[in-house]
Amino acid sequence: MIDFDDLSADECAMLLAALDSPLVDRSPASLSICLRLCGWRLLQRAGTASAANGWEGSPHAFVLTREGWGFVRAARQRRPMRRTG
């Protein structure tokens, strides 16, 4: 399994952006990052299942998978604690 430290800053930013809304950017750079994250099963194309569930956006958008949600949640919870005193 991939670790959050293994991801580049752009890949981390894409995952965090996918928390807010599906990724629909069409630039070649963002598409390659999304496809790389799909290879690690952190993102997936929205596809017809999302349309069947009522989402009216593009079926070519990228959304977080269950593994992606767990990955981002675990990465956000493991932030270092602040030291005092």
- What CATH number does the domain containing 61 carry? 1.10.10
> Which residues constitute the domain of residue 16?
4-77
* 83: in domain: no
* Structure confidence by residue, pLDDT tens digits, 13-70: 899 898 888 888 778 999 999 999 999 999 988 877 667 777 677 777 898 899 999 8
CA distances from 27 to 30, 33, 34, 79 (A): 6, 10, 11, 31
* 27: in domain: yes
* 82: in domain: no
* 60: in domain: yes
* 45: in domain: yes
* 41: in domain: yes
Task: Give the total number of structural domains in the chain.
Answer: 1
DSSP string across 34-73: HHHHHHTTSEEE-HHHHHHTT--S-TT-EEE-HHHHHHHH
Tell me the pLDDT band of 83, cut-offs 50, 70 and 90: low
* 84: in domain: no
* 51: in domain: yes
pTM: 0.77
